Amino acid sequence: MLKLGVNIDHVATVREARYRGCGHGEPDPVEAARLCEQAGAHGITAHLREDRRHIQDRDVWKLREIVTTRLNLEMANSPEIIGIALRLKPDIVCIVPERRQEITTEGGLDVAGQREAIRETRQRMNEAGIEVSLFIAPDPVQVEAAASTGTQFIELHTGAFAEAWPDPAARAVEVERLRQAAELAHQAGLRVNAGHGIHYQNLRDLYRVPHLVELNIGHSIISRAVMVGLPAAVQEMLALMRDYPAGGGAA
């Protein structure tokens, strides 16, 4: 069964728009996480950025207390955030690029350009009992590099797919890239997640990408929640995900 991790960063984005620096305020991403779990989400994702643009330190500590499914901390491979992650002990960290030089042309983490640094963080996390995922473009070079670091998961960056989606020809190209990357990663023994830009309309096209374990979805769910409420928005997404073919990758 394809799992849903809800990214709650945008709940914090709305709070920070009004209450930045106040140490409190609504809407509360922690309460949102609770509602997502109650609605059936399989995990909660939050990105503690170095610039603290949305999620704050107190959010991740409260999330660690209340999340009963899996807490996925998205993070840059930076000493400060690594230190926080090692103390926080999320179930999994997803290493994402925050600085320009860490980013491939498609926006994923340039693992091939920093294998040693990523491998070292992967090892420190694993020694602390934390699983590791790497957010990479569907690029064979990056998939191979990810496998060489010993990471447990990759998260395929679906941003290019989401951008191409309105154009059927461009969409087909991006789905094929995702399909091949997922296949390659699976053959290399990696577990495969996907995320960025996935919404209620484009999700079905990902049925053709095999071996997917979990989708991390934020913006579309939080946006839909404004209209129908968070539990309904989560349940609607889960209902669409139920049709992902067992084993994945139906033509």
Establish whether 196 is a catalytic residue: yes
Q: How far apart are alpha carbons 95 and 132 in whole angstroms?
A: 8
Question: Does residue 190 bind ligand PXP (CB under 6 A)?
Answer: no
Per the CB < 8 A criterion, the answer to whether 171 and 193 are in contact is no
Question: Does residue 29 bind ligand PXP (CB under 6 A)?
Answer: no
Binding mask 115-144 for ligand PXP (x = CB under 6 A): --------------------x---------
Q: Tell me the two tokens of residue 143.
A: 């998939």
Question: Does residue 151 bind ligand PXP (CB under 6 A)?
Answer: no
Question: Does residue 30 bind ligand PXP (CB under 6 A)?
Answer: no
Question: Does residue 216 bind ligand PXP (CB under 6 A)?
Answer: yes
Tally the C-alpha atoms within 13 A of residue 159's C-alpha that lie toward its C-beta: 11
Of 144-152, 177-185, 206-214, 215-223, the segment contacting ligand PXP by CB under 6 A is 215-223
Binding footprint of ligand PXP, residue count (CB under 6 A): 17
Strands, E assignment, the chain? 3-7, 43-47, 71-75, 92-95, 131-136, 153-157, 191-195, 212-217
Cis peptide leading into residue 27 (ω within 30°): yes
Q: Which of 4, 73, 96, 137 binds ligand PXP (CB under 6 A)?
A: 96
Per the CB < 8 A criterion, the answer to whether 90 and 69 are in contact is no
Supply the residues annotated as catalytic: 47, 74, 196
Interface residues toward ligand PXP, by CB under 6 A: 7, 9, 47, 74, 94, 96, 135, 155, 195-198, 216-220
